[in-house]
Amino acid sequence: MSKLAKGEFTVSLQPLEFEGVDEAARLGRMSIDKRIIGDLVATTQGQMLTAMGGEKGSAVYVAVERVTGTLEGRSGSFALYHTGVMDRGAQSLSVKVVPDSGDGGLTGIAGDFRIIIESGKHFYEFSYTLPQGE
């Protein structure tokens, strides 16, 4: 049975060098670090790759980050992968748990991490499943 965790987070993005690529390629790389509070209490570390399109409002990003923290009183970590697309301003975003990436008390976790931005603040709704017991 799927459960829903909610809360908010802060995110820090820092540009990183994208080696071996000409600036005209419009490719980028950033570190992505979060502090998550609410039903999930965690920190993350990861990296993001970006590509800008030739039209205003067109771009894509992919990212992978390791989440380390506590959910339902169970401590451990798991990885998330992001796929974000902007097509002339129309946005789609998917953030999911990497299959079999959970460890410790979060072994077996699966789910979708929805990012909500309102009034400049970042919120999340994490729909997840965890095996029973530990």
Beta carbons of 78 and 67 less than 8 angstroms apart: yes
Tokens matching residue 48:
């993001």
User: Is a pLDDT exceeding 90 seen at residue 93?
Assistant: yes
What's the pLDDT score for residue 22?
87
SS3 state of residue 128? strand
* Residue 113 tokens, joined: 């991490």
Nearest to 110 by CA among 121, 118, 101: 101
CATH of region 3-129: 2.40.350.10
pLDDT for 9-63, tens place per residue?
Answer: 999 999 999 998 888 899 999 999 999 999 999 999 999 999 999 999 999 999 9
Among candidate residues 89, 33, 93, the one with its CA nearest the CA of residue 61: 93
Asked if residue 134 has pLDDT above 80, the reply is: no
Confidence at residue 23, expressed as pLDDT on a 0 to 100 scale = 80
14 and 45 Cβ atoms separated by less than 8 Å: no
Longest pairwise C-alpha distance within the chain: 52
Torsion of CA 29, 48, 8, 101, to 10 degrees: -150
Using one digit for the tens of pLDDT, what is the confidence trace for 72-89? 999 999 999 999 999 999
Please tell me the distance from the alpha carbon of residue 40 to that of residue 36, in angstroms, as a whole number.
Answer: 7
